[in-house]
């Protein structure tokens, strides 16, 4: 009901009048186009716009929702050949203005509008320069109108990523046009509020989403560079958040050079971002072995990565996965044990599956995950019951690594605590695990599974005595043992690459809990 009334208002004469204010400012700052390369993939092979059918751009009815958004956000301008006539681009913008003079829900969608403002102002050589006075006036007026729309609607958004993109567009408008100091000041305060509400005290997303931290870093650096290039003083809080986010980027990407598949993360390609940061003179360092409850112990060959963090607040839990105390083990840049990754695209069943504990290298009790999820919207989930970390201890020495962690994700339903102890001996290349199921009372014959997911390129086979499993990857051989419980090999799904899946295999330990405390001992050793 509320949304229906709101849409009615947005389409009304009164709202159109509210965002259609007289505009006397002039364009004083034209940002460098290349600064957008952190958030937009720019094609190497440029497109000659004169080869396109300009008259049919806005009359094509065969576009799906994704294609429509891409067309209307104008990020495609960055892939145009500058030698193409700018008048063609301006003609397209003129036609867009004629059709979209007033609010239209599809073309004025918040995220689409935000990106369109950023694109138009960042591509002034194509979108603004050499235009007639009439064109420039129309351009300036519609830019202001869209900016005011963002300003008035930003509080209605729930997703902080969209809020960040929106406030980025508003800030760029404030920097680009004269006499916008009041809007600039208000927008900076709003940006500060967004960051304070969505990032923890260490500057990491409250969602515990690794990919989201890179998203925030890209946009804050973009904002910072606009301030710098327009010769405005850079707000100190922006510098501070970039420092913390840069540390996270170094921790999760530069230092280990692989993508930990936890809490919404997939395999990413950050080499272009590396080049972008280098070009702008950014250099981040992080020698710590812990970052926002993620642990990374490593030497030149081996990396042991583990999640010992609580579940996020409900409002930040959409992409959270029930992988507490899960770990990944990497040798020579190749994962021996990997989590399965995150799946979101159009398939809620696969999305829900990728969020389960069974798709992580951790404990499952009676086919139940450590966290439960419920549907929030058609495409989104939120956490139903939270999870706390009850124990955490790390030892990191040259010849001895040890991680101890425990969580209460099974306490409410089964009255038990899961505690994991992992030791690694670098000289012997031996990984030893003790998984403890600690009941508050005797447990009624509960089934448990512990899975160890393998990289899709791995080859596995059982030994003849059925007591060990051999793993071959990258011309390395490893042997997995569990002396006190049954082990086997199972087929599974791997979601490491964004919105795709492939088959992989996993080793699993299974058994029945029939006493108050149960220890499951396993080891992985190089052969």
pLDDT of 51 over the 60 cut: no
Which strand ranges, in their side-by-side order, compose the sheet holding 294-298? 290-291, 294-298, 302-307, 327-331, 334-337
Stronger pLDDT, 41 or 109, i.e. the higher one: 109
- pLDDT tops 60 at residue 94: yes
Phi, psi of 154 (to 5 degrees): -65, -30
Q: For residue 505, which of 459, 464, 463 has the smallest C-alpha distance?
A: 459
Cα 10 versus chain centre, distance: 31
Q: What is the pLDDT of residue 49?
A: 66
Q: What angle do CA 246, 252, 254 make, to 5 degrees?
A: 75
State the pLDDT at residue 88: 86
State how far the Cα of 182 lies from the Cα of 188, in Å rounded to an integer: 10
pLDDT band at 56 (very low <50, low <70, confident <90, very high): confident
Domain boundaries along the sequence of the chain = 2-198, 293-526
Pairing type for strands 486-494 and 476-482 reads unpaired
pLDDT at 413 over 80: yes
pLDDT at 130 over 70: yes
pLDDT value at residue 476? 93
Name every residue whose Cβ is closer than 8 Å to that of residue 439 and which is 6 or more positions away in sequence.
414, 415, 416, 513, 515, 516, 517
Average pLDDT over residues 156-181: 96
User: Do 321 and 354 meet the contact criterion of CB atoms below 8 Å apart?
Assistant: yes
pLDDT exceeds 90 at position 96? yes
Q: Is 293-526 a CATH 2.70.98.70 domain?
A: yes
The CA dihedral of 129, 130, 131, 133, to the nearest 10 degrees, is 100
DSSP letters of 339-362?
--B---SS-HHHHHHHTSGGGSSS
Burial group, residue 408, by CB count within 10 angstroms (0-12, 13-18, 19+): middle
pLDDT of residue 465: 84
Burial class of residue 69 (count of CB atoms within 10 Å of its CB; 0-12, 13-18, 19+): middle
Smallest Cα–Cα separation from 91: which of 47, 54, 142, 133? 54
**Helix and strand element counts for the chain (H, E):** 14, 19
Q: Does the pLDDT at position 381 exceed 90?
A: no
Specify the length of the chain in residues. 527
* 356 phi/psi in degrees, rounded to 5: -75, 155
Q: What angle do CA 213, 216, 221 make, to 5 degrees?
A: 125
pLDDT in tens, 199-257: 998 999 999 999 999 999 999 999 999 999 999 999 999 999 999 999 999 999 877 77
* Alpha carbon of residue 48 to chain centroid: 33
- For the cut 60, the answer to whether the pLDDT of residue 154 exceeds it is yes
Give the pLDDT of residue 44.
64
**pLDDT tens digits, 78-92:** 888 766 677 888 999
Average pLDDT over residues 503-525: 92
pLDDT band at 47 (very low <50, low <70, confident <90, very high): low
Distance, CA of 479 to CA of 524 (rounded, Å): 6
Strands (DSSP E) contained in 229-333 are 290-291, 294-298, 302-307, 327-331
Span 165-175, pLDDT tens digits: 999 999 999 99
Residue 2 is predicted with a pLDDT of 75
What band does 54 get if pLDDT is binned at 50, 70 and 90?
low
Residue 183: pLDDT band (50, 70, 90) is very high
Residue 269 confidence (pLDDT): 78
The yes-or-no verdict on residue 100 having pLDDT over 70 is yes
The tokens describing 367, both together, are 């086919």
Q: Residue 474: what pLDDT?
A: 85
DSSP classification of residue 129: T
| CB environment 421-430: b (16+ within 10 A), e (fewer) | bbbbeeeebe
Per-residue pLDDT tens over the stretch 259-274:
999 999 999 878 889 9
The pLDDT confidence band at residue 368, using thresholds 50, 70 and 90, is very high
Section 426-441 average pLDDT = 93
- Average per-residue pLDDT in the chain? 92
Query: What's the predicted TM-score (pTM) here?
Result: 0.93
DSSP state letters, 11-22? TSHHHHHHH---
**Residues 187-210, mean pLDDT to the nearest whole number:** 96
Render pLDDT for 489-512 as a digit per residue (tens, 0 to 9): 999 999 999 889 999 999 999 999
Rounded to an integer, what is the distance from CA 177 to the centroid of its chain?
Answer: 32
Closest to 483 (Cα-Cα) out of 525, 441, 429 = 525
> In Å, what is the CA distance from 218 to each residue of 5, 168, 324, 342?
36, 11, 28, 22
Six-digit token string for 285: 């360092």
Provide the pLDDT for residue 53: 63
* pLDDT for 515: 78
How many Cα atoms within 13 Å fall on the side-chain side of residue 151?
22
Alpha carbon distance 261, 431 (integer Å): 20
**What confidence tier does 111 reach under pLDDT thresholds 50, 70, 90?**
very high
- pLDDT tens, residue by residue, 311-344: 999 999 999 999 999 999 999 889 999 999 999 8
């Amino acid at each position: 009901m509320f949304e229906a009334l709101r849409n009615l208002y947005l389409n009304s004469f009164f709202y159109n009048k509210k965002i259609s204010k007289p505009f006397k400012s002039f364009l004083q700052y034209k940002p460098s186009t290349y600064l957008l390369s952190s958030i937009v993939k720019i094609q190497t092979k440029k497109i000659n716009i004169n080869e396109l059918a300009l008259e049919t751009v806005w009359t094509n009815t065969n576009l799906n929702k994704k294609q429509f958004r891409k067309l209307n956000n104008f990020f495609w301008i960055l892939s145009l050949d500058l030698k193409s006539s700018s008048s063609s681009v301006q003609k397209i913008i003129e036609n867009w203005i004629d059709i979209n003079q007033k609010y239209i829900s599809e073309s004025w969608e918040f995220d689409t509008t935000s990106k369109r403002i950023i694109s138009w102002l960042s591509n002034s050589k194509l979108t603004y320069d050499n235009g007639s006075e009439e064109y420039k006036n129309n351009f300036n007026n519609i830019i202001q109108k869209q900016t005011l729309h963002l300003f008035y609607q930003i509080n209605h958004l729930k997703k902080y990523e969209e809020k960040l993109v929106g406030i980025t567009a508003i800030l760029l408008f404030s920097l680009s046009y004269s006499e916008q100091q009041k809007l600039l000041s208000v927008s900076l305060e709003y940006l500060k509020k967004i960051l304070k509400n969505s990032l923890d005290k260490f500057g990491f997303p409250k969602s515990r989403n690794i990919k989201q931290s890179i998203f925030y870093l890209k946009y804050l650096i973009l904002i910072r560079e606009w301030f710098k290039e327009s010769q405005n003083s850079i707000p100190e809080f922006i510098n501070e958040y970039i420092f913390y986010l840069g540390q996270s980027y170094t921790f999760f990407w530069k230092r280990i050079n692989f993508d930990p598949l936890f809490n919404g993360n997939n395999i990413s390609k950050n080499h272009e971002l590396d080049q972008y940061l280098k070009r702008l003179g950014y250099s981040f360092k992080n020698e710590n072995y812990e970052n926002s409850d993620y642990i990374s112990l490593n030497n030149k060959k081996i990396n042991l990565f583990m999640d010992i963090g609580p579940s996020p607040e409900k409002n930040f839990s959409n992409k959270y996965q029930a992988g507490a105390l899960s770990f990944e083990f990497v040798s020579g840049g190749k994962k021996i044990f990997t989590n399965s990754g995150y799946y979101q695209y159009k398939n809620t069943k696969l999305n829900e599956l990728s969020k389960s504990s069974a798709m992580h290298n951790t404990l499952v009790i009676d086919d139940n995950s450590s966290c439960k999820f419920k549907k929030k919207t058609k495409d989104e989930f939120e956490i139903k019951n939270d999870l706390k970390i009850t124990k955490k201890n790390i030892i990191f020495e040259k010849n001895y690594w040890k991680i101890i962690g425990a969580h209460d994700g099974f306490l409410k339903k089964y009255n038990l605590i899961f505690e994991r102890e992992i030791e690694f001996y670098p000289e012997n290349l031996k990984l030893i695990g003790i998984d403890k199921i600690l009941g508050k009372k005797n447990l009624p014959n509960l089934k448990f599974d512990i899975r160890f997911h393998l990289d899709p390129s791995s080859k596995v086979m059982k030994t003849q005595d059925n007591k060990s499993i051999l793993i071959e990857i990258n011309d390395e051989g490893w042997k997995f043992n569990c002396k006190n419980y049954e082990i086997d090999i199972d087929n599974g799904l791997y979601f490491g690459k964004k919105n795709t899946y492939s088959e992989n295999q996993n080793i699993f330990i299974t058994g029945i809990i029939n006493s108050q405390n149960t220890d499951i001992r396993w080891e992985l050793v190089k052969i």
